[in-house]
């Protein structure tokens, strides 16, 4: 049927050259039950109509007839969108006014914006291993990683697109020792246990918030260039992305929660604790249909270079909503 449509469109485009009739309406019979009605009010529009991408237009119409979601149709048209610079009119040798087209094609991809939420868990590595038996050993459940990002996706070509993201992220490291107290001196951060009698310790943690940016090239084997939502049964079958990120610390604090007597106490200390102001690393994203997972790994140390500071590289992993 598409072949018939294309033949009909070529016939319409060449109508002026074939005959000199002043007909304002042309009916093209495509099949027994399908036809195209073309109405022209101003013949001066013909040069512009010759440039029109009728194939993309009819793909759009056929997709709507077949029930393809509007979002998928708009994505397809955005990927094929073109602009033409101008149409120049000039006189030939006999004085007749003709036209020639200057078709400077500017193909561009329209960025698509979205809002993503990363939700996962934190830990850190020292010399490639998770700390074992150290006072600063963390408990994975309760060491949350949360990030809210504004994402711009841009199709580069084929199955390849990029994601630019800017947002806020939070690290929380919940320690295995619920009575751990964090302080610092001129030599670095100090981890010590609170052994005060009569206290029932519930949790101890350190948290930090960051302004974060990332750039992730993505290879999309589904070819749609968009992330399907949880409720969407279709969408890209498989996506993989890998790229850098960087962040600047905007706040940090420690928190110790315990009960003493009949009351519940929360000791909160807002301090840097020699956490690095800047952090940077690499991010891996894996997606299957509507589910996307991430892994972030900091290439620099969590704490600054002080004699007593542990050498730790933060790692986060979870799901992208």
Q: Is the pTM of this model over 0.75?
A: no
For the record, the structure tokens of 52 come out as 């029109």
Distance CA 221, CA 235 (A): 10
For the record, the structure tokens of 141 come out as 């459940």
Q: Where are the alpha helices (DSSP H) in the chain?
A: 2-13, 15-18, 46-51, 54-66, 70-80
Alpha carbon of residue 233 to chain centroid: 19
**Tens-digit pLDDT profile for residues 194-224:** 999 999 999 999 999 999 999 999 998 875 5
Q: Which residue has the tokens 């049964």?
A: 233
**Tens-digit pLDDT profile for residues 83-127:** 444 444 445 555 554 444 444 444 445 567 889 999 999 999 999
Domain edges within the chain? 2-102, 112-320
**Tens-digit pLDDT profile for residues 214-251:** 999 999 887 554 554 443 444 457 899 999 999 999 99
């Amino acid at each position: 049927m598409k072949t018939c449509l294309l033949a009909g469109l070529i016939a319409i485009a060449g109508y002026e050259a074939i005959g000199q009739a002043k007909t304002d309406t042309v009916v093209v019979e495509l099949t027994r039950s399908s036809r195209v009605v073309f109405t022209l009010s101003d013949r001066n529009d013909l040069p512009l109509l010759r440039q029109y991408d009728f194939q993309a237009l009819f793909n759009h119409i056929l997709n709507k007839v077949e029930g393809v979601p509007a979002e998928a149709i708009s994505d397809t048209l955005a990927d094929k969108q073109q602009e033409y610079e101008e149409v120049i009119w000039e006189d030939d040798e006999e004085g007749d006014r003709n036209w020639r087209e200057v078709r400077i094609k500017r193909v561009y991809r329209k960025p698509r914006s979205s809002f993503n939420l990363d939700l996962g868990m934190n830990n850190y590595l020292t010399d490639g291993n998770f700390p074992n038996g150290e006072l600063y050993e963390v408990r994975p459940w309760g060491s949350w990683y949360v990030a809210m990002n504004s994402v711009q996706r841009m199709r580069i070509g084929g199955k390849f697109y990029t994601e630019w993201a800017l947002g806020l992220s939070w690290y929380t490291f919940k320690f295995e020792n619920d009575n751990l107290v964090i302080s610092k001196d001129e030599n670095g951060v100090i981890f010590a246990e609170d052994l005060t009698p009569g206290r029932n310790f519930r949790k101890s943690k350190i948290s930090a918030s960051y302004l974060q940016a990332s750039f992730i090239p993505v290879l999309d084997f589904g070819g749609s260039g968009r992330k399907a939502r949880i409720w969407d049964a279709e969408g890209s079958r498989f996506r993989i992305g890998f790229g850098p990120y960087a962040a600047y610390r905007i706040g940090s604090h420690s928190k110790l929660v315990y009960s003493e007597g009949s009351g519940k106490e929360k000791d909160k200390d807002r301090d840097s604790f020699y956490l690095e102001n800047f952090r940077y690393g690499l991010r891996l994203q894996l997606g299957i249909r509507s589910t996307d997972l991430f892994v972030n790994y900091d290439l620099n140390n969590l704490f600054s270079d002080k004699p007593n500071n542990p050498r730790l590289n933060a790692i986060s992993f979870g799901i992208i909503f």
